[in-house]
């Protein structure tokens, strides 16, 4: 995983997906929040792929939470997937991971 921050947008199975690369910290958190809030305005459900994120600090957690609030205010949903190691731990410890966990698929 590289340290250079970047965001790409796409779709998978009709679902809006935002892929994040690099570190989410004080230098990148505001840009991520803005990208995610714009994404939830354009789509009712947005999945944020964190598989390329190697570091997440408290400002990054705040940006994810703010984007969650942007979605909720619109009646939309924002979820995260594929958080790795340290990033998954930070989301779990802060409790934000529970807010952003996608619902279990219906059988």
pLDDT in tens, the chain (107 residues): 457 899 999 999 889 999 999 999 999 999 999 999 999 999 999 999 999 999 999 999 999 999 999 999 999 999 999 999 999 999 999 999 999 999 888 76
pLDDT at 107: 66
Domains of the chain: 21-100 (3.30.750.24)
Residue 75 has which token pair?
A: 């009646």
- Predicted TM-score (pTM) of the model is 0.93
Sheet strands side by side (includes 6-12): 6-12, 15-24, 45-56, 77-81
Whether the Cβ atoms of residue 42 and residue 72 lie closer than 8 Å to each other? no
pLDDT at 26: 96
91 vs 35: CA distance, rounded Å = 19
80 vs 53: CA distance, rounded Å = 12
């Amino acid at each position: 995983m590289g340290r250079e921050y970047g965001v790409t947008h796409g779709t998978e199975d009709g679902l809006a997906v935002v892929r994040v690369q690099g570190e989410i910290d004080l230098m990148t958190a505001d840009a991520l929040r803005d990208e995610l809030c714009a994404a939830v305005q354009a789509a009712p459900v947005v999945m944020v792929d964190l598989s390329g994120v190697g570091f997440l600090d408290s400002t990054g957690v705040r940006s994810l939470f703010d984007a969650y609030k942007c979605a909720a205010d619109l009646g939309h949903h924002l979820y995260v997937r594929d958080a790795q190691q340290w990033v998954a731990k930070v989301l779990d410890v802060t409790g934000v991971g529970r807010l952003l966990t996608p619902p279990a698929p219906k059988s």
